[in-house]
Amino acid sequence: MASGERIFVQAIRRYCADHGIAVDVRAGGWLITMRRGEARHFAFGYDIGLNSAIAHRLANDKSATAEALTLEGVPCVPHHLSLNPKLGKNVVGPSWRDAMLELLHDHPQGVVVKPNEGTSGRSVFKVTTEAELDHATSDVFSMSTGLVISPYVEIEEEVRVVLLGDVPLIVYSKQRGTDWRHNLDAGAKPVLLEDGEARADRAKLAIDAARAIGIVFASIDLVRVDGKWRVLEINSGVMMEALGKLHPELVQAAYDAALDRVFGEK
């Protein structure tokens, strides 16, 4: 096992070793081929291939996810899409900045600007002024074809649910550190939720969200705002690096269950 490999890659190696599956790790661990007999399966990034192409694309698009959840009546945090003006006026339209300014003016407490696709809280900005908005949009558009704007809300609690079908494999809260964000990469700490009513309620909302976009294996971020729970994001790639350092057996079991589904074990 290569030193410094991601926990995701280590988990796949262990599963394949235990099940007589040949594994070939390429591109620094970002592309993995798994072979057993004539069967061949790929893992790419943090995606093991259980989700349909359309569910994967919806989950990776924050604006599309919010629209799909709203259509199904699943409470969620709004994500308003703005396309990069470099795509051209015929695609973006002439009033893209006016639309963003209107959103900012409608939410005097501020808005959050971030890439429409992406994870780990990178290039995420809290914006309260036009100057901050211009800085944020310039940064995001330098690396992305689109951004989303959400109203800034005081998050009282955030929970992540790792789902396989309708089964909540892992449910944990993110204990925020000094940063205003709850991203694990920004210093938040994962704390497992024990079995009980709270865990069951969070799992039910996550299951409703997963069904709304037809996703099978995902991690779903939920936030409590003004005492009410809603969906923040759905992640098609299930990343559990921070959690795996604290609860390696639990994370291995979750990936094992998903890989069993890939190889038709259960």
Instruction: Tell me whether residue 2 is exposed, middle or buried, using C-beta atoms within 10 angstroms of its C-beta: 0 to 12, 13 to 18, 19 or more.
Output: exposed
- Say yes or no to pLDDT of 181 above 60: no
Summarize the chain as % helix, strand, coil (round to 5). Answer: 40, 30, 35
Sheet with 111-115: strands ordered across: 80-83, 146-151, 111-115, 125-127
User: pTM (2 decimals)?
Assistant: 0.90
pLDDT at 265 (0 to 100) = 73
Give percent of the chain above pLDDT 90. Answer: 82
pLDDT at 179 (0 to 100) = 73
pLDDT at 6 (0 to 100) = 95
Tokens at 98, concatenated: 């006016």
Mean pLDDT over residues 182-195, rounded? 78
Tell me what the pLDDT averaged over the chain comes to: 92
- Say yes or no to pLDDT of 218 above 80: yes
pLDDT band at 10 (very low <50, low <70, confident <90, very high): very high
Mean pLDDT over residues 217-243, rounded? 96
3-state DSSP assignment of residue 10: helix
Tens of pLDDT, residue by residue over 109-124, are 999 999 999 766 788 9
Domains observed in the chain = 7-49 (no CATH), 53-76+154-258 (3.30.470.20), 80-151 (3.30.1490.20)
